[in-house]
């Protein structure tokens, strides 16, 4: 039976069945089309496919593949998007959108706390092509809108942003951008489509690193671009096809499998993260906890108007800003492992010295990614590491 995304089914139901309309030999799991190319019965049949590169019929897996399409349909419905294209990593998705909407002389506005490889793209790579950028704190919509120039083509938001978890007013910024013909793209990796729907409040694109919550098991890298079908066909034709950034069939299959439990995992991770953040905010060793669901969060009103929940990634600033002590704290943790990336089944910790716009000085922050462990075990782990390290 064919499942239509337009059917009034719940998101959990759609994530199980959507896109899996073709059963092979009765297999309950969808097939992995681990193939580079596809065959045709005639030259005519092959030549007529060029009109629709997304398939079916499929031609070549650098452009489209049925396993990838199955996963794309699930991600599109999650984001409430007309279409989705999956890439080999989140950076593949970000670079495709930015390159797709810039040309010689263009200008990009983004938040200074954006994902650091994006900063490298803007600071070290795009200037080669005469593309400039401006950073804003994003704390106030007018500050972002005031940074728009006549040559601005993209405003790139990351809300919440990754290290100090600031929000941007997507609704207001996207509206102002649209009026000026500027494309508004939102990195929704940390927000998650369950708790925030950028497209529904005016953004052109919602982007994801599928390596985080979508996969959910720290065993794949993937990226997703969600947005209008026509714009995505253009990105597929140029940035994805020419730069070769499409996802491979197997990680696409793993991603689709991860999506089956995304809502379940996120609800559990949200509850645990709220408990851990609440506990941390009551500790004398901790100055600030950057977690949107706390009553003390400075952008609480925007959080409540824009998001329906918060995920498991947040940070805190230790009161003692002493690098060796903070390092000792991270290394004394037993359940939280030291590692980059986040959004998997396991809890992770990293530390970084940051100075976002508006900070008078640099500050050390400890970033936690909450996994699927028991909340009381994670809290006990943080408590013992504070004691051992003398944080």
Ligand X SMILES: *Cc1c(COP(=O)(O)O)cnc(C)c1O
Stretch binding ligand X (CB under 6 A), from 120-128, 148-156, 207-215, 374-382 = 207-215
Our CB check for ligand X shows the closer of 115 and 364 to be 115
Stretch binding ligand X (CB under 6 A), from 44-52, 77-85, 86-94, 229-237 = 86-94
User: With binding defined as CB under 6 A, does residue 65 bind ligand X?
Assistant: no
Strands 183-187 and 205-209: parallel
User: With binding defined as CB under 6 A, does residue 67 bind ligand X?
Assistant: no
State the alpha helices, DSSP H only, in the chain.
11-17, 43-47, 66-79, 90-100, 116-120, 141-146, 170-179, 229-235, 241-243, 249-260, 262-281, 300-306, 323-332, 375-389
**Residue number closest to ligand X, CB atom:** 90
User: With binding defined as CB under 6 A, does residue 315 bind ligand X?
Assistant: no
User: With binding defined as CB under 6 A, does residue 61 bind ligand X?
Assistant: no
Query: Shortest distance, CB of residue 84 to ligand X, whole angstroms?
Result: 15
User: With binding defined as CB under 6 A, does residue 91 bind ligand X?
Assistant: yes
* Paired residues of 185 in beta bridges: 156, 205
User: With binding defined as CB under 6 A, does residue 188 bind ligand X?
Assistant: no
Query: Shortest distance, CB of residue 47 to ligand X, whole angstroms?
Result: 36
Round to whole Å and give the CA distance between 40 and 195: 44
Tokens for 130, please give them. 């005469």
CA proximity to 299, closest of 139, 147, 78: 139
User: With binding defined as CB under 6 A, does residue 160 bind ligand X?
Assistant: no
What are the residues whose beta carbons fall under 8 Å from the beta carbon of 240, sequence distance 6 or more? 63, 85, 87, 92, 96, 246
Our CB check for ligand X shows the closer of 216 and 223 to be 223
> For ligand X, which residue of 19, 30, 66, 90 counts as binding (CB under 6 A)?
90
Tokens for 39, please give them. 């065959």
Interacting residues with ligand X between 95 and 154 (CB under 6 A)? 115
Q: What is the CA radius of gyration of the chain?
A: 22
Stretch binding ligand X (CB under 6 A), from 59-67, 89-97, 176-184, 270-278 = 89-97
User: With binding defined as CB under 6 A, does residue 221 bind ligand X?
Assistant: yes
Q: How many beta carbons lie within 10 A of that of residue 145, not counting itself?
A: 20
> For ligand X, which residue of 67, 152, 189, 272 counts as binding (CB under 6 A)?
189
User: With binding defined as CB under 6 A, does residue 239 bind ligand X?
Assistant: no
Stretch binding ligand X (CB under 6 A), from 55-63, 149-157, 182-190, 261-269 = 182-190
Any idea how long the chain is? 391
Concatenated DSSP letters for 280-341? HHT-TTEEEEE-TTSTT-TTHHHHHHH-S---SEEEEEESS--HHHHHHHHHH-SSSEE-S-
Q: Under a CB-based contact definition with an 8 Å cutoff, are residues 342 and 315 in contact?
A: no
Our CB check for ligand X shows the closer of 176 and 249 to be 249
User: With binding defined as CB under 6 A, does residue 272 bind ligand X?
Assistant: no
Concatenated DSSP letters for 370-385? --SS-HHHHHHHHHHH
Our CB check for ligand X shows the closer of 14 and 157 to be 157
> For ligand X, which residue of 223, 309, 318, 344 counts as binding (CB under 6 A)?
223
Q: How far is CA 155 from the centre of its chain?
A: 16
User: With binding defined as CB under 6 A, does residue 211 bind ligand X?
Assistant: yes
> For ligand X, which residue of 137, 168, 209, 311 counts as binding (CB under 6 A)?
209
Round to whole Å and give the CA distance between 264 and 266: 6
Q: State the number of binding residues for ligand X (CB under 6 A).
A: 14
Report the interface residues with ligand X, using CB under 6 A.
Answer: 89-91, 115, 158, 162, 187, 189-190, 209, 211-212, 221, 223
């Amino acid at each position: 039976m064919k499942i239509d995304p337009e059917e009034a089914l719940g998101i959990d139901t759609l994530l199980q069945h959507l896109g899996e309309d073709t059963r092979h030999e009765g297999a309950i799991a969808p097939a992995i089309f681990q193939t580079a190319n596809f065959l045709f019965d005639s030259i005519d049949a092959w030549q007529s496919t060029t009109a629709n590169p997304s398939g079916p019929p499929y031609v070549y897996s650098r452009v489209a593949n049925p396993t990838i399409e199955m996963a794309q349909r699930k991600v599109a419905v999650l984001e409430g998007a007309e279409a989705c294209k999956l890439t080999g990593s989140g950076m593949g998705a970000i670079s495709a959108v930015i390159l797709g909407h810039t040309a010689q002389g263009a200008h990009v506005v983004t938040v200074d706390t954006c994902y650091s490889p994006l900063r490298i793209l803007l600071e070290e790579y795009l200037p080669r092509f005469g593309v400039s950028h401006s950073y804003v704190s994003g704390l106030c919509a007018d500050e972002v809108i005031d940074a728009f120039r006549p040559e601005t083509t993209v405003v790139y938001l990351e809300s919440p942003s990754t290290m100090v978890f600031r929000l941007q007013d997507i609704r207001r910024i996207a509206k102002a951008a649209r009026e000026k013909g500027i494309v508004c793209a939102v990195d929704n990796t940390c927000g998650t489509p369950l708790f925030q729907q950028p497209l529904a409040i005016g953004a052109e694109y919602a982007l994801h690193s599928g390596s985080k919550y979508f996969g959910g098991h720290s065993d794949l890298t993937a990226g997703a671009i969600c947005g209008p079908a026509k714009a995505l066909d253009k990105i597929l034709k140029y940035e994805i096809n020419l730069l070769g950034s499409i996802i491979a069939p197997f990680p696409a299959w793993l991603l689709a499998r991860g999506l089956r439990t995304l809502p379940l995992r996120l609800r559990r991770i949200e509850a645990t993260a709220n408990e851990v953040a609440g506990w941390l905010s009551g500790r004398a060793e901790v100055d600030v906890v950057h977690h949107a669901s706390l009553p003390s969060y400075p952008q609480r009103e925007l959080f409540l108007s824009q998001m329906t929940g918060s995920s498991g990634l947040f940070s805190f600033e230790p009161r003692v800003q002493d690098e060796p002590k903070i390092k000792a704290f991270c290394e004394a943790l037993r359940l939280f492992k030291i590692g980059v990336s986040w959004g998997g089944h396991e809890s992770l910790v990293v530390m970084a010295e940051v100075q976002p716009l508006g900070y008078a000085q640099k500050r050390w922050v400890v970033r936690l990614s909450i996994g699927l462990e028991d909340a009381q075990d994670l809290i006990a782990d943080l408590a013992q590491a504070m004691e051992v390290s003398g944080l």
